[in-house]
Amino acid sequence: MLALDIEVFRRQLVVAVALDVGPGERFALFGPSGAGKTTVLETVAGLVEPSRGSVVLDGRVLWSERGPRVPYWDREVALVRQDPAVFPHLSVRDNLVYTGSRADRSALERLVAALDLGSLLDARPSSLSGGQARRVALARALAAPYRAVLLDEPYTGLDATLRRTVTGLVADEASARGAPVVLVSHELAESQAFADRVGVIDGGRLLQVAAPREVVLRPASRRVAELVGYRGFVPHAGGILGIHPERVRLGSQAAAGVVLSGTVTGCRPAGAGFEVDVAVGRAELTCRLDREPGVPGSEVELTAVDPPTFGPDGRLIVRTAVPRP
């Protein structure tokens, strides 16, 4: 298990996070740029020293205010950063076995096959694309001894198929070793696809930790709702309804949620359907519908399906069971 309770002072931000990640668990830190996500990873890895707190991995104290303070090279943590940091003077093969006798050769063979690196083993990093270099860095990290895996935006430069491959690969390798995995990402779909739990972070603080669907269906605050994609907030019955674009139906269906009346202000093709802007009183919302509701200026009735309601302080005030898929 990875357990951290840290406070780190950065230039214009104090990152204060308390978090436990279980053996073999996949945890995603999701939030906007500058929220403190990478700082958390770097603190666990030993590249940044906190101002207070502790970092404990498998019962071993890696850092505490009164010691010990284990250096980064002795933490048994696999870190894959945004910059893949492959060694330019070494071939791909030599990069992969850089850890020497500490590398798990059988794991390395599996990783080379799964990440389609076989044809690149004799290549130099200067000839690799960004996505290829990331795959090399990931294979190198997962072949080394580790007790935790830290992934900092690892999918940049990878297509959708490779993203799914990498997600499954990391899950299998980490689960086999019982290692906790922490991913940081500013993309919600990426975080949800990867994680057992998602932590929403903003301004250096964890705002909510929950199952991947729950952070969307039951955001703990209006700020969390904004971060996970809500595109409208409508006053209703003493509170503020959060309207998610994908949780809106055309027409009046009171049994499914809250019926809203408004005026179409814009409509654009979006995938197989349409993205529609609607004015509801003074509020503006955006929703995705399977058909056009009418031209701009048309009156329309919409049903917000089981919307969360927030109080004056921005916190969730209505909490019901998360709907099943």
Which helix (H) or strand (E) is 40 found in, with range?
helix 37-45
Please give the Cα distance from 233 to 252 (Å, whole number): 19
Cβ-proximal residues to 176 (8 Å cutoff; 6+ apart), any chain: none
Residue 210 parent element (H or E): strand 205-210
Determine the Cα–Cα distance for residues 287 and 82; give it in Å rounded to an integer: 33
Q: Which residue has the tokens 């995995």?
A: 181
pTM of the model: 0.90
CB atoms within 10 A of CB 109: 12
Residue-level pLDDT, tens digit, the chain, 325 residues: 999 999 999 888 999 999 999 999 999 999 999 999 999 999 999 999 999 999 999 999 999 998 889 999 999 999 988 888 889 999 999 888 876 546 667 778 888 998 889 999 999 989 998 888 888 988 888 888 889 999 998 877 778 888 888 888 888 888 888 999 999 999 999 999 999 999 999 999 999 999 999 999 999 999 999 999 999 999 998 899 999 999 999 999 999 999 999 999 999 999 999 999 999 999 999 999 999 998 999 999 999 999 999 999 999 995 544 455 4
Query: Looking at residue 148, what DSSP letter applies?
Result: E
Nearest-angstrom CA–CA distance, 31 and 200: 6
- In eight-state DSSP terms, residue 239 is E
Domains in the chain (CATH in brackets) are: 2-212 (3.40.50.300), 225-310 (2.40.50.140)
